[in-house]
Amino acid sequence: MNKNGKAFLNFLILLLLIAGIGYVIYTNKDFQRTHKKEITKINFYLRDYIKAYKDFTKDFYEKVAEWKKSHPSKQKAIPGEKPLETWTFEEMIFNAETLEREMPPEMVKHQNDEITVCSFNADLIINNPLTDKEIIHLANIMRFCGVSAITNLRNESSLKRISTALKILRYNAVYQTVAGTGSAAKTFYAYLYRDDRIQPVQKAELYKGDVPLPVTPAYGIFKAGDFDFIIANFATPSSGIPLDSLLVLEKFSEAIKNEFSDTQDLLIFGDFAFESRGIIWDSSSLLPNIARTLPADRAPLDLLGDFWFRKNDLIEFNGRSGVINLNSQSFPSKSKPPLTANKPLWTQFKLLPDDDQ
């Protein structure tokens, strides 16, 4: 230890010694009786000292604030940024032409008797520390999703900001979160929905049945008009969820249907990787792999199936679905552009009368 270190240590020891002696003397009852006047004076002195300290601190901060106003160049500024809450609807809203660069016209110009369901893997972009402009960009996309199922969410901060932006865009957005378990224990599932179009039937929760997969899915039950449906989504490991056959999803689908006999329409989201290239979707009973992402390091045959449901059950499907092609130029804070893997997905349904009876 150098001389400065030793001097500082000796000072601390002396300070503690003085404080200890003072405490012993000050709490001694005999001392208090014989030195009552002196203690009273000390108390008044301490009170005046504390008041003077508060006045000095207040005056100091006021002078610092005045100095900052008169020296704006000295303040740390964020170019092009202002608090999200101060944006107006007119400043925030995107026109259709801007949106159609990343979203198909069918999604942007959907009919009132249709509902769009989306899936987002938060690892793609939502988990990033986004600027307000990037949050606004996401909100302009998500306003066309009646409900968005989100996986791999590490915190709620961006989700709260997206919800705030949607409210400024005049869409009252509500979300539910469910803590993951097992290999997804450090992440959340989330369901963000517009309550002008979607009503929750049952609060989202983890599935309690057995699923022979490395992650436990969460599910939520929702209703749009007379169309009630279940969304079940799997948190996604970086390598995808390996499937040696479709039998796992088939059994999971049957288990959900048996548990909720009043709601037979089930959508499953997750990045499913086929372990064998010989596996194909059985088009006679299952919807083909309609929405998929192809990570740059995978061969085209190693498809990740992101969206799945039984075609014969979900007659409300209108045949429209796909990938939302987020433009990397709209998200400059993203550390590794372009945005290739795990892009958001969308699919549409007609709000037909209940057919689950």
| Structural domain of 179 | 87-350
- Give the model confidence (pLDDT) of 338-352 as tens digits: 455 567 888 888 887
**Which of helix, strand or coil describes residue 242?**
strand
Over residues 19-42, the pLDDT tens digits come to 666 666 666 666 666 766 776 777
Using the 3D structure, point to which of 72, 105, 129 is the last residue of a domain: 72
Q: Indicate if the pLDDT at residue 316 is higher than 50.
A: yes
For the domain that residue 221 is a member of, what is the CATH number?
3.60.10.10
In-domain check, residue 82: no
Confidence at residue 142, expressed as pLDDT on a 0 to 100 scale: 92
Residue 147 confidence (pLDDT): 94
Shared domain for 55 and 201, answered yes or no, is: no
Check pLDDT > 90 for residue 330.
Answer: no
Domain C-terminal end among 72, 104, 123: 72
* Model confidence band, residue 140 (pLDDT cutoffs 50, 70, 90): very high
**Do 228 and 356 form a contact (C-beta atoms < 8 A)?**
yes
Quick check: 281 pLDDT over 70? no
Distances, alpha carbon 351 to alpha carbons 116, 221, 266, 317, in Å: 10, 15, 15, 9
Same domain, 107 and 39: no
User: Within this chain, do residues 234 and 283 fall inside the same structural domain, yes or no?
Assistant: yes
What is the rounded distance in angstroms from the CA atom of residue 265 to the CA atom of residue 253?
10
Identify the residue with better confidence: 103 or 162: 162
Residue 335 within any structural domain of the chain = yes
